[in-house]
Structure 1
């Protein structure tokens, strides 16, 4: 049986993450309040932001920026867009 969670992004019960996506308390909070679908969508946006903005995850400012963007995305607030990104044709 699939575990579900009330997703803070989609405001409905959806499939839960099988394990915390980050270490520590933050990862546990995300697992308890973010669906698998929302987390996968965040990972896609995060990848685009890293690539398009040439971010280095070794840079503390880049990590803080991505953490802020993650919170904004999961709370349905406006996030930065990757300039030049063209979604694939459906």
Structure 2
């Protein structure tokens, strides 16, 4: 049976991650309070932000921005959208 967590984004018990996604207290927080579904949605959104905003993840300011956006996204707060992103039409 998979482990469940009370997801802070969706405010319900959902399947949790299988492992801590990154080291440190923030990674533990995600592991304990974010569902697998919310984390997968975040990683897709993070990729869009990095690509659309041309972020260099070697830059400290870019990493700080992504960390702030991750916190907002996973907490259900307002977060930045990727301007110019057009979802793929899967009904072809």
Corresponding residue number in structure 2 for 1:23: 23
Per-residue CA deviation, residues 45-68 of structure 1 (Å, 9 max, x unaligned), is 000000000101100000000000
After superposing the two structures, state which structure 1 stretch, 79-88 or 12-21, moved more. Answer: 79-88
The Cα RMSD (Å) is: 0.8
Q: Give, in angstroms, the shift of residue 83 of structure 1.
A: 1.0
After superposing the two structures, state which structure 1 stretch, 44-53 or 73-82, moved more. Answer: 73-82
Corresponding residue number in structure 1 for 2:79: 79
CA distance in 2 between counterparts of 1:25 and 1:71 reads: 13
Q: Give, in angstroms, the shift of residue 11 of structure 1.
A: 0.3
The total of aligned residue pairs comes to 90
Q: Give, in angstroms, the shift of residue 7 of structure 1.
A: 0.2
Q: Give, in angstroms, the shift of residue 34 of structure 1.
A: 0.2
What is the TM-score with the length of structure 1 in the denominator?
0.96
CA distance in 2 between counterparts of 1:11 and 1:88 reads: 28
Corresponding residue number in structure 1 for 2:49: 49
CA distance in 1 between counterparts of 2:42 and 2:52 reads: 15
Corresponding residue number in structure 2 for 1:60: 60
Q: Which runs of 4+ in 1 moved over 4 A?
A: none
What is the TM-score with the length of structure 2 in the denominator?
0.94
